[in-house]
């Protein structure tokens, strides 16, 4: 049933919409969020299943899992979930089946990633080009053609495993400075062969991954992508380039685009240019990628998912009513309130999320898995 608030009529966010061949029951998307709850060797744990159970029960239309590595050398963080072998399929089925059981029509997609040069777990990471990564303090090695071909196959095989594990879709992580983002960006891709040198060649690996994936899972299994609207780095992707990338992806067959921005290095200069922006304390600071998304929306014919500092229901309604985006994607608010979509859909006195964008949840990752530390502090004080 569509939600109605006061005399404002039916909420746009409660209306269903398709992504590819899959109907999403509302416009709420849980943006991929690294959980830090897998076992040391990347297997699904009971805690991980419980996290997705709570998200599914909370009313989100589509859940995108935390990033899963498609190759061991592409693993970027401890306790990260793996999808690089068939041995992971039984555990992954637990997540998909749990979401479908408790989610009242909720759909779930796996985010697939190779972390490229942005990993502290690999002594010599792989990257499109040997461009020093200053945050992790690593000099990567330029990938050979054979290694690129192996990575293409690894992404496609991971998508096949996701489908076998009964997920509804996959999302390629092509943002935030990870491997696909590195290939797309002229800042990190300085190759002069068939995988670099101009915008068309920098996109080649993404196109080949998509085509190989379709060979394995079919055209009816939606493939989404998360991409940067800008790297916010001199010499990196800017809006002009990201519009061309998005337009090409739209014609390629990608089912939906989620817009984001920044790389690890961007945080060194200005954290407020990344997806980790803090101090979102007024509505004018919400949806900080919206101006870029509006431009992307003009050149694509597939759904656009907007992420970045969305905290208020009326902001969401305005975005959707203006057709600036087709879905809204939340990360940090759902760490604190996994049932926030239901609260918004069922209540008239819940205008804004409790999340204060303090990023304490980010710090919790290295201490037992993602959670809202600020909420824990508040509950302790109130006891």
Q: What pLDDT score does 75 carry?
A: 98
What is the per-residue pLDDT for 373?
Answer: 74
Listed in sequence order, the residues at least 6 apart from 228 whose beta carbon sits closer than 8 Å to its beta carbon are 174, 175, 176, 181, 184, 185, 237, 242, 259, 260, 261, 262, 263
DSSP single-letter state for residue 221:
S
Question: From CA 286, how far away is CA 246, in angstroms rounded?
Answer: 23
User: Is position 233 within any domain?
Assistant: yes
pLDDT score of 348: 62
Residue 379, pLDDT score: 61
CATH of residue 141's domain is: 3.20.20.70
Using CA atoms, how far residue 213 sits from 90, 96, 114, 220, in Å, is 21, 20, 15, 11
Using one digit for the tens of pLDDT, what is the confidence trace for 110-136? 999 999 999 999 999 999 999 999 999
Whole-angstrom distance, CA of residue 316 vs CA of residue 238: 25
In a domain, residue 25? The reply is yes
Per the structure, how many domains does the chain have? 1
**Would 50 be classed as within a structural domain?**
yes
Active centre residues (catalytic)? 178
Q: What tokens appear for 23 in the block?
A: 């109907």
Is the separation of the CB atoms in 334 and 58 below 8 Å? yes
Asked if the structure places residue 7 within a domain, the reply is no
In whole angstroms, how far apart are CA 326 and each of 64, 142, 376?
A: 16, 38, 33
* In-domain check, residue 333: yes
**Structure confidence by residue, pLDDT tens digits, 22-59:** 999 999 999 999 999 999 999 999 999 999 999 999 99
Q: Is 1 among the domain residues?
A: no
Question: E strand or H helix at 79, and its extent?
Answer: none
**Phi, psi angles (nearest 5°) of residue 214:** -60, -35
In a domain, 248, yes or no: yes
> Rounded distance, CA 380 to CA 282, Å?
27
Q: What confidence score (pLDDT) does residue 6 get?
A: 43
234 within domain boundaries? yes
For 180, phi then psi, to 5°, come to -65, -35
Give me the pLDDT at residue 381, please: 61
Report the pLDDT value the prediction gives residue 2, as an integer from 0 to 100. Answer: 47
- Termini Cα distance of the chain: 37
HEC string for 336-375: HCCCHHHHHHHCCCCCECCCCCCCHHHHHCCCCCCCCHHH
Which residue range(s) make up the domain with 371?
12-382
User: Angle at Cα 227 formed by Cα 164 and Cα 239, nearest 5°?
Assistant: 160
Q: How far apart are CA 26 and CA 15, in angstroms?
A: 5
Distance CA 159, CA 235 (A): 32
Which stretches of the chain score pLDDT less than 50? 1-8
Separation between Cα atoms, residue 62 and residue 32, nearest integer Å: 10
Contact 200, 244 (CB under 8 A): no
């Amino acid at each position: 049933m569509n939600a109605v608030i006061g005399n404002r009529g039916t909420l746009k966010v409660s209306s269903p919409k398709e992504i590819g061949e899959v109907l999403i029951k509302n416009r709420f998307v849980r943006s991929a969020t690294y959980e830090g709850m897998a076992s040391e060797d990347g297997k699904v744990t009971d805690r991980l299943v419980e996290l997705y159970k709570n998200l599914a029960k909370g009313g989100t239309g589509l859940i995108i899992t935390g990033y899963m590595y498609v190759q061991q050398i592409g693993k970027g963080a401890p306790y990260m979930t793996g999808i690089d072998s068939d041995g992971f399929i039984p555990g992954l089925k637990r997540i998909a089946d749990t979401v479908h059981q408790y989610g009242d029509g909720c759909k779930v997609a796996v985010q697939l990633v190779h972390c490229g040069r942005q990993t502290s777990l690999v002594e010599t990471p792989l990257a499109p080009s040997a461009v020093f990564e200053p945050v992790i303090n690593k000099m990567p090695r330029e990938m050979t053609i054979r290694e690129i071909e192996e990575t293409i196959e690894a992404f496609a095989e991971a998508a096949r495993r996701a489908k076998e594990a009964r997920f509804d879709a996959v999302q390629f992580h092509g943002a935030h400075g990870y491997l696909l983002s590195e290939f797309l960006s002229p800042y990190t891709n300085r190759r002069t062969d068939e995988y670099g040198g101009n915008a068309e060649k920098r996109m080649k690996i993404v196109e080949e991954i998509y085509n190989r994936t379709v060979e394995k899972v079919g055209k009816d299994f939606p493939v989404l992508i998360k991409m940067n609207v800008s790297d916010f780095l001199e010499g990196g992707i800017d809006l002009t380039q990201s519009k061309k990338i998005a337009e090409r992806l739209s014609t390629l067959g990608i089912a939906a685009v989620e817009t984001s921005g920044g790389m690890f290095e961007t945080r060194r200069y200005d954290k407020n240019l990344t997806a980790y922006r803090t101090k979102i304390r007024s509505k004018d600071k919400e949806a900080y990628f919206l101006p870029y998304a509006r431009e992307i929306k003009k050149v694509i014919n597939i759904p656009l998912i907007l992420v970045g500092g969305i905290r208020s229901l009326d902001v969401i309604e305005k975005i959707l009513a203006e057709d600036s985006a087709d879905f809204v994607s939340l990360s940090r608010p759902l760490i604190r309130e996994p049932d926030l979509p239901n609260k918004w859909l069922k209540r008239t006195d819940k205008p804004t999320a409790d999340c204060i964008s303090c990023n304490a949840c980010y710090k919790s990752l290295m201490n037992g898995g993602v959670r809202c530390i600020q909420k824990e502090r508040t509950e302790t004080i109130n006891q």
